[in-house]
Amino acid sequence: MSIIGPRKPLGQHAPAGQALAKTLSWPHLIALGVGAIVGTGIYTLTGVGAERAGPAVILAFAIAGAVCACAALAYAELATMIPAAGSAYTFSYVALGETAAWVVGWSLILEYSLACSTVAVGWSGYLVGWIQAIGVTLPPELLAGPHGGGIVNLPAVLVALAVMGMLVAGTRESATLNIVLVVIKLVALGVFIAFAMPAFDANNLHPFMPYGFGSTEVEGTKRGVMAAAAIVFFAFYGFDAVATSAEEAKNPGRDLTIGIVGSMLLCTAIYMGVAVAAIGAVPFQTLANSSEPLALVLRTLNQPTAAYLIALAAVIALPSVILVMMYGQSRIFFVMARDGLLPASLATVSKRSGAPTRITVLTGLSIAVVAGLFRLDEIAELANAGTLVAFVAVGACLMVLRRTAPTAKRLFRCPAPMVVGTGAILGCLYLLHSLPGATLVRFLIWNAIGLAIYLAYGRRASRASRASRALRAKGGVFD
């Protein structure tokens, strides 16, 4: 067997009894994308980004959005060409081989689980701020993990478990609820811009890049525009969850393109408006590392009622991000198990809902543990590392399949694929380099563990490897 492992053939279908139900149309998919993209990144990580780049966090959002736009175009072509669950993992299996697919899938598991945990911690910050605004004080031991002097972040644990329960109820039901939550979030951000923009002061944008453009270490923390871009990048990548839903789309050729490209365009416009309003309204030092920066801006502007409503909207609507990300992770887990790389018992589909209930419960419990014990910024940085590797793989898959399968049916054709693919790869590698060294070490440890599992179990047990061995035994060739 070659080091790259066998490849999945284009058009391979799910085994009988393990196919996911087709329940989602394009409004559900746009809402899934917007639901994941508009969340902790803009509601919470704006403060972290401002602390690392100053007013140039606005530029950091633009750079991260440009890199994600390249990846989104690649995703749109590949998702309509290979309309199966698994997104970047499945694309890599077809284009690059099983070993690369495992690395990408293992990185996506890290991405989605830590993204969920990050949002849960961000949600907890808004909940606590909102409760304190009405005069209720909660025990600090139950509002932070050991890193913050507490025992566990109980609100973050509870919201993760609640979202898990919604997903167990069924995909369509969860997606429909997500549309309602997305509307609430968008209205809240519109209200924020309406109140903050009149207070815009150009003096708050000077100096625009106090820490420079590149990612450099200052007092033990990486700062600069690219350092901020490497963390606010977290704010953009919900569209890959849309690709993960490909198998459940009613009309994947049309719906996936609308869902992926539409959600990216809409959210980039929203992000730029919110970032300009927030940084222009108050000095960036005021926002630095705030767990609820948008509500803080409005309180600073003596708008307590608007701040209260923004925090309430975050409390109500941020769980939609957890819902979409947890949905994405459960599907990655499910497809890897269906392919035999993880125990096949995990690829069980509920007869009632058509959803993978067993893997959803396992996913929800693991996310709750991480959310309860770890810091928001460290979780987000590590989630970004997993995502960046997946996006590099998608850029490579786009270019490889244009050469190896030039006549394959493509319902959406990415313009200038070699330019877009190269842009996604180089942009993501630079952002990956801009992450803190400790984050990269943790990411390498995670993947070392993953490769050990693959070599000990997945490489021998996968369906593709078994088929390859059986075909070779008969004198055939499998690729």
Q: Which domains does the chain have, with CATH numbers?
A: 26-434 (1.20.1740.10)
**Residue 194 or 136, more confident:** 194
Q: Could you give the 3-state DSSP secondary structure of residue 3?
A: coil
| 3-state SS string for 69-134 | HHHHHHHHHHHHHCCCCCCHHHHHHHHCCHHHHHHHHHHHHHHHHHHHHHHHHHHHHHHHHHHHHC
Distance of CA 134 to the CA centre of its chain: 32
Residues 320 and 177: their CA atoms lie apart, in Å, by: 8
pLDDT digits (tens, 9 = 90+) for 148-190: 778 888 888 998 898 888 777 765 556 667 677 778 888 888 8
Taking residues 339-365, what's their average pLDDT? Answer: 78
Confidence of residue 1 (pLDDT cuts 50, 70, 90): very low
**pLDDT value of position 105:** 92
**Number of CB atoms found within 10 A of residue 11's CB:** 12
Q: How far is CA 419 from CA 60, 73, 105, 239, in A?
A: 22, 11, 25, 20
Q: How many CA atoms lie within 13 A of 82 on its CB side?
A: 25
**Residue 432 or 235, more confident:** 432
**pLDDT value of position 93:** 92
Confidence of residue 290 (pLDDT cuts 50, 70, 90): confident
Residues 267 and 257: their CA atoms lie apart, in Å, by: 15
Residues 320 and 39: their CA atoms lie apart, in Å, by: 8
Answer for the pair 325, 383: CB distance below 8 angstroms, yes or no. no
Taking residues 470-478, what's their average pLDDT? Answer: 61
Residue 356 predicted with pLDDT over 50:
yes
Q: What amino acid occupies position 391?
A: F
Answer for the pair 30, 110: CB distance below 8 angstroms, yes or no. no
Sequence-separated (6 or more) residues with CB below 8 Å from residue 351 = none
Residue 220 predicted with pLDDT over 80:
no
Q: What is the DSSP code string of 223-257?
A: ESHHHHHHHHGGGTTTHHHHHHTGGGBSSHHHHHH
Of the candidates 211, 221, 189, 149, the residue with the CA atom closest to the CA atom of residue 295? 189
Least confident stretch, 48-62, 64-78, 362-376, 381-395: 362-376
pLDDT digits (tens, 9 = 90+) for 15-28: 545 555 666 677 77
Answer for the pair 193, 274: CB distance below 8 angstroms, yes or no. yes
Answer for the pair 113, 329: CB distance below 8 angstroms, yes or no. yes
**pLDDT value of position 450:** 93
For the record, the structure tokens of 92 come out as 């890599």
Q: What is the mean pLDDT of the chain?
A: 81
Tell me 153's DSSP state: B
Place of tokens 């070392």: 448
Angle among Cα 166, 172, 176 to the nearest 5 degrees reads 80
pLDDT digits (tens, 9 = 90+) for 440-462: 999 999 999 999 999 999 888 88
**pLDDT value of position 273:** 85
**Number of CB atoms found within 10 A of residue 369's CB:** 15
- As beta bridge partners, residue 153 has 143
Confidence of residue 433 (pLDDT cuts 50, 70, 90): confident
